[in-house]
């Protein structure tokens, strides 16, 4: 599996600009999986839950996830990307997983910094995702500091751990 990472400085509050920047950066590159940064479509810092709510969108029917699905189909690859998710009154720091066949799943961040804890609701269960036979687990940035999260994913069969812009292979 060819894995790519993209690190860039998102323009705060401008998901269309950030999507265009990501698309341009990936145009001439081939990969089976691309891992994009945490909250790479909205930017990271939010002044309040109201500001966050205005930037958040639903998964999988929101415009960003739909654009990522189109990108995954066009690239014939998987994409893992961080975005602010709105689900009813709840707000999550999520990672969406999409592939050539469409929406695969999502992970909602469970371990927060003090700043994030004031803004986001806590995710529930850790899940693994099948990426054409590669079992991937996803943790978002600060979560990777907690070995029990990664251990739980490995116990579920993960052989690949994706965190923000880092990926680790697991040797059973």
Of 109, 116, 143, 162, catalytic? 109
Of 40, 141, 150, 162, catalytic? 141
DSSP assigned state of 77:
S
Crossing angle for the helix pair 63-75 and 15-26, to the nearest 10 degrees: 10
* Separation between Cα atoms, residue 54 and residue 48, nearest integer Å: 10
* Separation between Cα atoms, residue 82 and residue 148, nearest integer Å: 21
Rounded (5°) CA angle 117-123-131: 130
Active site residue 38: yes
Task: Please state the φ and ψ torsions of residue 73, each to the nearest 5 degrees.
Answer: -65, -45
Active site residues per annotation:
38, 109, 141
């Amino acid at each position: 599996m060819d894995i790519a990472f993209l690190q860039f400085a998102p323009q705060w509050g401008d998901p269309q600009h950030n999507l265009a920047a990501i698309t341009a950066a990936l145009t001439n590159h081939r990969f089976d999986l691309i891992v994009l940064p945490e909250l790479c479509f909205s930017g990271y810092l939010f002044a309040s839950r109201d500001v966050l709510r205005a930037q958040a969108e639903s998964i999988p029917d929101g415009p960003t996830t739909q654009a990522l699905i189109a990108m995954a189909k066009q690239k014939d690859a998987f994409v893992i990307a961080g975005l602010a998710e709105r689900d009813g009154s709840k707000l999550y720091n999520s990672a969406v997983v999409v592939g050539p066949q469409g929406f695969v799943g999502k992970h909602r961040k469970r371990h927060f910094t003090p700043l994030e804890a004031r803004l986001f609701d806590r995710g529930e269960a850790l899940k693994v995702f099948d990426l054409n036979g590669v079992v991937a687990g996803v943790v978002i940035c600060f979560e990777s500091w907690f070995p029990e999260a990664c251990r739980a994913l490995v116990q579920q069969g993960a052989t690949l751990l994706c965190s923000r812009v880092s990926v680790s292979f697991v040797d059973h």
